[in-house]
Amino acid sequence: MKNRLRLRLREDSIRSGRGFLIFWVIFGLNLSLNLDLPHAASFGLADRVVEQKLTNGLTILMVERHQTPVVSLNMTFGVGGVNEQVGQTGLAHLYEHMAFKGTRTVGTKDYEKERPLLDEWYRVGTELEQRQRELARRSHEKPASQEDRAAIEKLQKRFTELQEQAGQYVAGNEMALLYQRHGGVGLNAATGKDLTRYMINLPANRLPLWAAIEADRMAYPVLREFYKERGVVMEERRLRNDDSANGLLYETFTSAAFRAHPYGIPTIGWESDILSLTPADTEAFFKAHYGPGNATIAIVGDINPKEVMTLIEQTFGKIPAAPPQPPLVTVEPPQRGERRVEVEFDAEPSVVIGFHKPALGHPDDYVFDVIDAVLSDGLTSRLYTSLIREKRIAASVSSDSNYPGVRSPNLFILSATPLAPHTTAEIEAAIYAEIERLKTEPVSAKELEKVLNNLDADLVRALRSNGGLASQLALYQTVAGDWRYALKARDKIAAVTTADIQRVAAEYFTKSNRTVATLVKKSGGKHVATAPLQEVAR
């Protein structure tokens, strides 16, 4: 389950901030935390998780662990890149950034004075960008008139004035600095295809502080410093996608593999879409997807569940329920032939291969977890043994059984970097040879037992720490609709047989079902060709 637990989430850097006191003081700092239970592992976990649901739809999962006076918190929303509309890609990721800018009480020196400035600033900014785009569209027909240029200049001047005026009321990074002053560590967030997550670790007696801040953020976020943060996201895209060989390769590969489903769209968004996102777009996206009914909060550590629920009711319980999200209806049509793409970049060659497969919960999905481990889990795995240790043709090789998400049918991918002077064609042929082995040669009982034991150990290790357990509970509650999925998957994986592996490999690992992306090195502006591929898999 090593790759399932990753889920291809993009980790953001820690945000800093300075704080406010008024909310959490009224709830008191000294919760009595007197119960004690041993560490929850996968054994008996079902009896230790306390599950509650508020009338507004918010799901709360709690596990008591009294070894240390700390608590780990993970708030996960069932919204990600798949929930965006054409022309507005990147909204989920942008909102994650904006969520750290504060609320009506956090991040501001005087919200009553700040609010009208923000409203006018966003109105002027939206009008300015609309006029600029319209002029750009008409530029091939006729040059901008003096009147047009004067109007844009006037808007730009007013935009700058409002930006400076609103900036005077910003209490920079207030939220994170408040957490930091009260012992918070690991404040972070991540946006993926299927979900968005916010996490932190705190002293247990600071739980009221967390509840006050996060309930306020869920109910009343303020999109201050919008254009500045949108620029930060744009720079992030350039760094991680446009100017990164690996990022550009995977973006091109994923877009080629998915023609219809939004899994093919980069979570960070397309450049033109990011630059056209407005505060109104972002606020509408927040209202549609970040209500309490679409959130799960997992709390693990030195807690008393009854007292925690009283606190949650007093804070999150006041947030009204939001309308349900519209269902995602787009289904990726079956692939009818191999797709191959090349990406030219001044970097060493590499290759990514993907095969379409079912989503989380499908009976064959558990088999792919086992195949993933057989092929690339550890130094004794088949791909490492064959390509790196024996043939010495690869510098690296890996696989992933759930790319780029899990809630919809996805991809089983394999990636590798050749060891010079070997080529991506040699690497590709060697990978297909190992795939053919899965189809024709049953995995030995000894190898299967080792793989299943390692997968089981991975699951148990993932549940050891408070943060790990909170992460897994919120994750599976969101993507599978039930946190118990992790335990059910354990039994399903343990039941996988060698015949299952052969059947799944033969059904899905076919030429017509695969997409291949190759990073081709450019030398002196010229394309460097690779050796022709000798086809193996059919």
Eight-state DSSP code of residue 238: I
Cα dihedral sign for 160, 166, 171, 174? negative
> Which tokens hold the place of 81?
């890149």
pLDDT, one tens digit per residue, over 20-43 is: 333 333 333 333 333 333 334 445
CA–CA–CA angle 314, 316, 320 (5° rounding): 110
Residue 349 tokens, joined: 């060659």
pLDDT digits (tens, 9 = 90+) for 272-327: 999 999 999 999 999 999 999 999 999 999 999 999 999 999 999 999 999 888 88
Locate tokens 């049953």: which residue? Answer: 442
Alpha-carbon distance of 100 to 97, in angstroms, equals: 6
Q: What's the pLDDT score for residue 1? A: 53
User: What pLDDT does residue 376 have?
Assistant: 97
For the segment 372-379, the average pLDDT, to the nearest whole number, is 96
Residue with tokens 């201050």: 224
The count of C-alpha atoms lying within 13 angstroms of the C-alpha of 3, restricted to the half-sphere facing its C-beta, is 28
- Check pLDDT > 80 for residue 17: no
Single pTM value for the model = 0.89
Q: What is the pLDDT of residue 144?
A: 77
**pLDDT at residue 524, as a whole number:** 57
**How many residues can be counted in the chain?**
538
Average pLDDT, the chain: 90
